[in-house]
């Protein structure tokens, strides 16, 4: 079972639960959590106005965290893209949301052309991330690990 929590920006430490691991808690109508290699992961779902997150999600500001409760492991972190309101044939009002993983933060910086020679892959990646990190907020920064 998954718990899904949204945050109103990086300063919001408490967040709002929009899907509870509880059987009777809030739920989202998940369309899919797409995880892959060499790609920006995504999580799409619908919310009805009864869900506490319905009016809280703002594009590129709202952050999300999906927790696999039994394993106590975060399986997805990301940010919101533009929502789409809809009214199905059943007359049920809902909003569709798409969240993309933290790798999407790399779109928030601009890399200038640079000819690179005689450098290791680690140094090349470090240079790219230093340029990115110099242009974005702290929560969007990436660092080289082992």
**CB neighbour burial string for 6-17, b if at least 16 within 10 angstroms, e if fewer:** bbeeeeeeebbb
Cβ atoms of residues 92 and 48 within 8 Å = yes
| Per-residue model confidence (pLDDT) at position 58 | 93
pLDDT at residue 42, as a whole number? 94
pLDDT for residue 85: 63
The model's pLDDT over 82-136, given as tens digits with 9 standing for 90+, comes to 777 665 555 567 888 999 999 999 999 999 998 889 999 999 999 999 999 999 9
pLDDT at 49 exceeding the cut of 70: yes
Residue 82's pLDDT is 78
Q: Which of 49, 50, 47, 60 is nearest to 4 (CA)?
A: 47
> What is the structure's pLDDT at 80?
94
Quick check: 64 pLDDT over 60? yes
- Nearest-angstrom CA–CA distance, 140 and 122: 20
Chain segment 3-35, per-residue pLDDT in tens: 999 999 999 999 999 999 888 888 888 888 898
């Amino acid at each position: 079972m998954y718990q899904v929590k949204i945050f109103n920006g990086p300063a919001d430490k408490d967040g709002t639960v929009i899907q509870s691991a509880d059987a009777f808690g809030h739920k989202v109508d998940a369309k899919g959590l797409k995880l892959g290699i060499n790609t920006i992961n995504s999580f799409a779902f619908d919310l009805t106005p009864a869900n506490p997150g319905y009016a809280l999600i703002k594009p590129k500001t709202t952050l999300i965290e999906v927790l696999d409760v039994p394993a106590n492991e975060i399986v997805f972190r990301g940010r919101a893209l533009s929502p789409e309101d809809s009214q199905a044939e059943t007359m049920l009002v809902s909003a569709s949301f798409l969240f993309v993983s933290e790798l999407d933060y790399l779109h928030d910086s601009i890399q200038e052309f640079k000819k690179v020679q005689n450098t290791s892959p680690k140094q090349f990646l470090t240079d790219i991330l230093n340029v990115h990190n110099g242009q974005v907020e702290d929560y969007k920064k990436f660092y080289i690990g082992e």
